[in-house]
Amino acid sequence: MFLKSLSISLVLSLLLGPISVLADGNFTAFLSQYVSALQSAGFSGIANALEAINGTTVGEQLLSRLANTTNNYTVFVPDNDAVRRIPTSISSNASFFAEYISYHIVEGDFTNTTNSSSSGGGSSSTTSSVTSSTSTSSGSTSSASATTAALFGRLFAVLPRAGSGSSNPQPYAGIYPNVTIGRTLLNSSDLVHLEGNQSQVLAWTRYTPDGNVTMLNQASFTGQNISITNSTTWRNLFINGINGVLIPPGNFSSALNATNTTALTALLSTVQLPVFNGTNETAIGALQNATGITYFVPNNLAFTSDVNSTLQGLQSNTSALQTVVQNHYINGTSLYSTLIDNSTTAVSAAGENLTFFVNSTGTFINGANNTVAQIVRPDVLLDNGVAHIINGVLFSTDSDPAVASSAYQSATSVAAQSTTETGPIAASTTTQSSTTSSTTASQTTSA
């Protein structure tokens, strides 16, 4: 046991040596050291994958960004079992594989910095040899600024639960229904169609306050939730081991399928929606072709017998049904749950005002015609936006196409100015009230 921990420390301190030699963006040097570090920590599967994408344009761009130590990244590293299960349809195409890997890298350092109890040597019963070598070598470390040999002892130490008094880096994560959302490096037009050509996001949460951090909308190939198993800091990377491979979000149809929202699916199949060139298209097709969308998806229970009979009465009124559907989404904006607070306002695709309120029970949407529903499942990510599952139908046949159109124009110009986030995507909590409420959807009302 001593030998094993010694050799891990040795390998890691050898890796430490040449840091100052690295030129920013020299991914050749960076890659070989990163690959060795991953191998020594038990992640040889992903280490091999990185070598496989080395040589593709997408892979080299990705690795150059990681190697730029000016910037911090949070990296999710699938364990060997997960990597083995990757279908060859993905792994045999190195460029495509590189795109998948880019969905595992988030801009910025998502370490929870308020979790800084570096004194607690007492949390004894942890047994891994890596952890025990930590306590001998790092006894007097205080800062988390991560490039001294002593700190390498904690490389990939198994994560204790939040608040257990450990000095291991902990991921920043909301407690469900609060989630944390970060912007990844996945930007391929094959897989992402967000407003302003933004990169895809990744969402995670703790389902219980002292539980593991679980990735939203992701299941491993064995059907389990994908969670973080261990974490460390290595140079400019905050690295989190996970027990699955993250799959980039699919389209609206697959989200409806995955959430079993069959009643809305049935309604959408009877409706056509206008698309950019002035024609109507099937609702699903139109929604999937949008660039940046937020859909409030009523669950099956929301379609009560009252709602169903009212809808039945509108069967011959295609434009009223179209408006009901349009009052459930925002066109041109991905309004993640973390962007919603009590001051958030938006405009539906029918041109009606949407407001929100957040209290200890949860997050609620106030739609046209004084309809109210609660978000019961936030942030079902889409390749072109986000869906939130709600517990009521926002039943309104009110519309104002001119307002809808200007809200869309405004959302599009806001998206075009977006800059890269290097921290959790969240509502700006600045107290300034009037015109400049920055990146939230409240901009869409300003025209």
Ligand X SMILES: *[C@@H]1O[C@H](CO)[C@@H](O)[C@H](O)[C@H]1NC(C)=O
> Which residue in 367, 290, 293 sits closest to 323, CA to CA?
367
* Residue 52 makes contact with ligand X by CB under 6 A: no
Task: Judge contact between 416 and 319, C-beta under 8 A.
Answer: no
> Which two tokens mark 343?
């001051």
Site stretch for ligand X (CB under 6 A), options 90-98, 226-234, 328-336, 349-357: 226-234
Task: Identify which of residues 68 and 366 has a Cβ nearer to ligand X in the complex.
Answer: 68
Residue nearest to ligand X (CB): 42
97: left (phi over 0), alpha (psi -120 to 50) or beta: alpha
* Residue 188 makes contact with ligand X by CB under 6 A: no
Mask 56-75, x = binds ligand X (CB under 6 A)? ------------x-xxx---
Task: Candidates 132, 229, 282, 418: give the one binding ligand X (CB under 6 A).
Answer: 229
* Least Cβ distance, residue 128 to ligand X (angstroms): 6
* Cα 215 to Cα 182: distance, rounded to the nearest angstrom: 11
* Cα 165 to Cα 319: distance, rounded to the nearest angstrom: 59
Residues 6+ apart with CB under 8 A from 243: 78, 79, 81, 82, 220, 224, 226, 227, 229
DSSP tag of 364? E
* Least Cβ distance, residue 154 to ligand X (angstroms): 10
> Which residue in 236, 244, 108, 221 sits closest to 171, CA to CA?
108
Task: Identify which of residues 97 and 370 has a Cβ nearer to ligand X in the complex.
Answer: 97
Q: Three-state SS for 373?
A: strand
* Least Cβ distance, residue 441 to ligand X (angstroms): 18
* Residue 275 makes contact with ligand X by CB under 6 A: yes
- The number of residues that bind ligand X (CB under 6 A) is 60
Site stretch for ligand X (CB under 6 A), options 90-98, 314-322, 326-334, 389-397: 314-322
> Which residue in 213, 132, 119 sits closest to 167, CA to CA?
119
Q: How far is CA 192 from CA 189, 384, 437, in A?
A: 5, 6, 27
Phi and psi at 416, nearest 5°, equal -65, -25
Task: Identify which of residues 128 and 308 has a Cβ nearer to ligand X in the complex.
Answer: 128
Task: Candidates 33, 134, 198, 212: give the one binding ligand X (CB under 6 A).
Answer: 212
- Report 129-158 residues binding ligand X (CB under 6 A): 130, 145, 156, 158
Residues that bind ligand X (CB under 6 A): 21, 23-26, 28-29, 31-32, 35, 41-42, 51, 54-55, 68, 70-72, 79, 109, 112, 114-115, 128, 130, 145, 156, 158, 162-163, 172-175, 178, 211-212, 227, 229-230, 241, 243, 257, 260, 262, 272, 274-275, 277-281, 289, 300, 318-319, 322, 422
